[in-house]
Structure 1
Amino acid sequence: MVCFCFMVDQKRKMKASKPAAGMCSRCGRGARIADMKTSTRFCLIPIYCRSWRAIVCSFCGSVLKSYR
């Protein structure tokens, strides 16, 4: 029996952001509305790319809510 393992990774990148009303529920700091881009790569070749909007904490970076 042969088993193959390939490298698959996913990166999130914040393209632009602006301040939003509200606070992070995890750390209590301010939140931002951000335009995000997710790239999925398989063996260093990009196979899927998607842009979406999310509310992100400006301090800890956690995604509080996403709009897909």
Structure 2
Amino acid sequence: MAIFCFLVDQRKQVRGRKPAAGLCSRCGGGAVVADMKTSTRFCGVPFYRKAWKAIVCHFCGAVLKSYH
């Protein structure tokens, strides 16, 4: 008997944000300091959650720097 389990999805959510000094190196938009949350689900079951801070572009959403 074999059971296969695969990665269903991994989501990154912004929980809160505050203005930060600086500009995005990719699009030139303004940067914000964001409280991020990563959720990973395997086979539809929540498996792993992590909260962290990052500097994110407000316009394009690129993560410029992360603090784990």
- d(CA) in 1 for partners of 2:14, 2:6: 27
1:27-65, Cα deviation, whole Å (9 max, x unpaired): 001000000000000011110000000000000000000
Unpaired runs of 5+ in structure 1? none
Aligned to 1:41: 41
Long gaps (5+) in structure 2: none
TM-score (norm 2): 0.90
Which 4+ residue blocks in structure 1 deviate beyond 6 angstroms? Answer: none
CA contact (8 A) 2:5 2:42 kept: no
Measure, in 1, the Cα distance between the counterparts of 2:61 and 2:27: 10
Output the CA distance in 1 between the equivalents of 2:8 and 2:42: 5
2:5–2:43 contact (8 Å) kept in structure 1:
no
CA RMSD of aligned residues (A): 1.6
Number of matched residues? 67
Q: Hey, what's the Cα distance between the residues in 1 that align with 2:37 and 2:7?
A: 20
What is the TM-score with the length of structure 1 in the denominator? Answer: 0.90
Q: Report the Cα distance in structure 2 between the residues aligned to 1:43 and 1:11, rounded to whole angstroms.
A: 14
